[in-house]
A = this chain, B = another copy of it.
Amino acid sequence: MIYDRITLPVNEIPKFWLNILPSLPEPLPDPIPKIGEKPCREKVLKMFESSWTKEALWQEYAPVARVRVPDEVLEYYIRVGRPTPLYRARRLEEYLRTPARIYFKREDTLPTGSFKLNTIIPQIYYAKKEGFEFIVSSTGAGQTGSAVAAVARAMGFKAKIFMVRSKYKSAPLRGTFMKLCGAEFTPSPSPETEIGRKYYSVNPEHPGDLEICAKEAAEWAQKSKFKTYVVKGSFFNFVVLHQTIIGLEVKKQLEIIDETPDVLIGCVGAGSNFLGLTLPFVHDVIKGKENYKFIAVRSDVCAPEINGEYRYDLLAPDTEGPLYKMYTLGVTTEVPPIIAEGLRHHFSSPILSYLVNKKIVKVVAYKEKEALKAGALVTGLENFIPAAESSYAIKAAIDEALKAKETGEEKVIVANISGNGFLDLAGYAQVLKLEK
Contact = CB atoms under 8 A, between A and B. Distances in A.
B176 A428 contact: yes
Interface stretch (A76-84, A216-224, A316-324, A404-412): A76-84
Interface stretch (A20-28, A43-51, A148-156): A148-156
Interface string A143-167: 0000001110110000000000000
Given A9-B7, A380-B153, A85 B75 contact: no
Given A1-B71, A7-B7, A381-B154, A180 B434 contact: yes
A429 B5 contact: no
A78 B5 contact: yes
A308 interface: no
Given A78-B5, A436-B185, A379 B177 contact: yes
Given A2-B75, A117-B383, A423-B425, 15 more contacts: A4-B78, A4-B79, A5-B10, A5-B78, A7-B10, A108-B111, A111-B383, A150-B379, A153-B381, A177-B379, A180-B379, A180-B425, A185-B436, A420-B422, A422-B422
28 contacts: A1-B11, A4-B78, A5-B10, A5-B81, A7-B10, A111-B383, A111-B384, A149-B380, A150-B380, A153-B381, A154-B383, A172-B429, A172-B435, A173-B425, A176-B426, A176-B428, A176-B434, A176-B435, A177-B385, A177-B425, A179-B429, A180-B425, A180-B428, A180-B432, A180-B434, A181-B379, A181-B380, A422-B423
Nearest to A77: B5
A11 B2 CA distance: 10
Interface of A: 1-5, 7, 9-11, 71, 74-75, 78-81, 85, 87, 91, 108-109, 111-113, 117, 149-151, 153-154, 172-173, 176-177, 179-182, 185, 376, 379-385, 420, 422-423, 425-426, 428-429, 432, 434-436
Contacts of A75: 1-4
